[in-house]
Amino acid sequence: MVGKEVSLEAVEIIITIGGVATAIAAIWGLVYGLTKWVHKQNSQSTDIEKLEKKHDTDTQRLLDQEKKDIDLLRSEESERIQRVEDELCVISYAVLAVLDGLKQQGCNGEVTKAHTALEKYLNQKAHGQK
């Protein structure tokens, strides 16, 4: 019976050692898994910060380019408007000359009214009046 008791005690010790080893392995696995998870979270946080910075940089670059494009379009439109206004000025003076010629030929009535109105308009426009 002494041999069986030693054998039972040995089995109990082996079972206890196995349980402790399993518990240590489980705790080590948990710590390792937790450490790996924390590292992954930190890595993701860094990636997110990089993406946010790139997004901000790209957004600012696009806004700057958009402003340049708008300024260029405004400048081009302003130049086109100025050319049209210059052409209209020349046309207005040409029409005034035609009306003046008709008036000198003796055409009265509407020719005289149109000549007077156009001459008044051009004088006001030249002096910045309405």
Q: Tell me the DSSP string of 27-38.
A: HHHHHHHHHHHH
Q: Which amino acid is at 84?
A: V
Instruction: Determine the pLDDT at residue 129.
Output: 67
Q: pTM above the 0.75 mark?
A: no
For residues 101 and 91, give the distance between their C-alpha atoms in angstroms, rounded to a whole number: 15
CA angle 29, 30, 34 (to 5 degrees): 115
For residue range 37-58, what is the model confidence (pLDDT) as tens digits?
999 999 999 999 999 999 999 9
Instruction: Determine the pLDDT at residue 5.
Output: 65
